[in-house]
Amino acid sequence: MRFYNQQHKFYCGIDLHARKMYVCILDQQGKTKVHENINTDPEALFDLIFPFIQDVVICVECMFSWYWVSDFCTEHKIPFVLGHALYMKAIHGGKTKNDKIDSYKIAKLLRGGNLPTAYAYPAGMRATRDLLRRRSYMVNQCSLLVGHILNTNTQYNLPGFNKKLSRKFNHQGVVERFDDPAVRTAVQADLTMIEAYNNLIKPLEWQIEKSACHHNRNSLYLLRTIPGVGQILALTIMYEVHDIKRFGSVQQFSSYARLIRPEKQSDGKWAGKSNKKIGNAHLKWAIRTAAMISLRESDQAKKYVDRLTRKFNKGKALGIYTHKLGRAVYFMLKNKRAFDMNHFFSH
């Protein structure tokens, strides 16, 4: 957990929503200078903070509409802080909660140096990262449609498919398997949606790859040297990490990628696990998928996991191997060195 502890003359906390935002500005002594509810308009916000613009910091909670506030602060050279929503317990744990109180609490935490921060992804690569995430959503939806066809095929005890249904040229003869007209209609609808998603996904991938060559081509090439990491996995890791220097240690990177289990202790005793979903789910998926593919293709990886399985169990062995691969990703990007299989298994 990181806190923003820089000193300013004025501290601005904003409880942000889609159409309205409550703005609270405190001075160094904690006196309220401004506490108003205004429209989410950059001009209205600028007019409100203009008397304090010489030394003011603006903070909003991490939610879906913070992009424009970050860009607004960048344009006017105002320090911007993004609050970590899950860590801000002083906001969500209050007995009484409304926009006015929330904005005051954000400004108060900011002034006291107790505001937990999230990473404000810069605007230069933000749109491409969101497009890559949208592409992942479409692929998942396509997989659900394929799964529905496979389940329907199993329901009627028909022979299995020998080809991948996610590809258009394998759709011939799929509908004719079923006798019931209603079932045929449902399967045909699934195939039509799969074809529509495929027609959308390919242009998206082309545009993402084109943008990645301008953003960080070297990191993309480094990640492609990992066995099992293709273009999509490399793009996902690159855009979700953005700048490896924002992680002070490999432990922070592993925690952010959800590669370690957070544990609770009290009085020196184990008290369970909590907050295992804090971190980046997309980065976790990419590293775990890369680990499974490399395990399938590398004999050294298979022997390594088999040795761990005899010592622990299958699940823990896979977790250790995934964590090891995540640590390798961190040091590769930090030291700008390609993946070395012999060095990877020598430690």
Q: Which residues of 83-102 are buried (b: 16+ CB within 10 A; e: fewer)?
A: bbeebbeebeeeeeeebeeb
E-assigned strands of 212-285? 263-266, 269-273
Q: Which CATH class is domain 3-118?
A: alpha beta
Q: Which residue has the tokens 């090439």?
A: 221
Q: Which helix H or strand E contains 138, and what residues bound it? A: helix 123-155
The average confidence (pLDDT) of the chain is: 92
Question: Which pLDDT tens digit goes with each residue over 266-295?
Answer: 777 777 777 777 889 999 999 999 999 999
Q: What is the pLDDT of residues 328-347, one digit of tens each?
A: 999 999 999 999 988 888 86
DSSP strand E in the chain: where? 3-4, 10-16, 20-27, 32-39, 56-61, 80-83, 115-118, 263-266, 269-273
Lowest mean pLDDT among 90-104, 162-176, 239-253: 90-104
Q: What is the per-residue pLDDT across 296-308, written as a single tens digit (0 to 9) for each? A: 988 899 999 999 9
For the record, the structure tokens of 166 come out as 């996610």
pLDDT for 43 equals 96
pLDDT value at 90 more than 70: no
Would the pLDDT of 237 be above 90? yes
How much is the average pLDDT of 240-262? 92
pLDDT exceeds 70 at position 54? yes
d(CA 330, CA 325): 9
Q: Look at the block and give the residue holding tokens 């890559």.
A: 132
What is the reported pLDDT for 103? 94
| pLDDT (0 to 100) of residue 264 | 76
Tell me the mean pLDDT in the region 33-37. 96
pLDDT at 169: 86
Mean pLDDT across the stretch 203-210? 93
pLDDT, tens only, 118-148? 999 999 999 999 999 999 999 999 999 999 9
Nearest Cα residue to 197 out of 282, 149, 137: 137
What phi, psi does 176 have (nearest 5°)?
Answer: -65, -10
Q: Is pLDDT of 216 > 80?
A: yes
Which of the four pLDDT bands, split at 50, 70 and 90, describes residue 105? very high
Domain boundary assignment for the chain = 3-118, 125-215, 231-265+273-346
Share of the chain above pLDDT 90, in %: 79
Residues 6+ apart with CB under 8 A from 309: 317
pLDDT value at position 63? Answer: 86
Looking at residue 341, its pLDDT comes to 87
- Give percent of the chain above pLDDT 70: 99
pLDDT value for 247: 95
The pLDDT value given to residue 97: 84
- pTM confidence score: 0.89
Q: How many CA atoms lie within 13 A of 309 on its CB side?
A: 9
Q: Enumerate residues 6+ apart whose C-beta is below 8 A from 323.
A: 254, 259, 260
- The pLDDT score that the predictor gives to residue 50 is 96
Distance in angstroms (rounded) separating the CA atoms of residues 60 and 120: 11
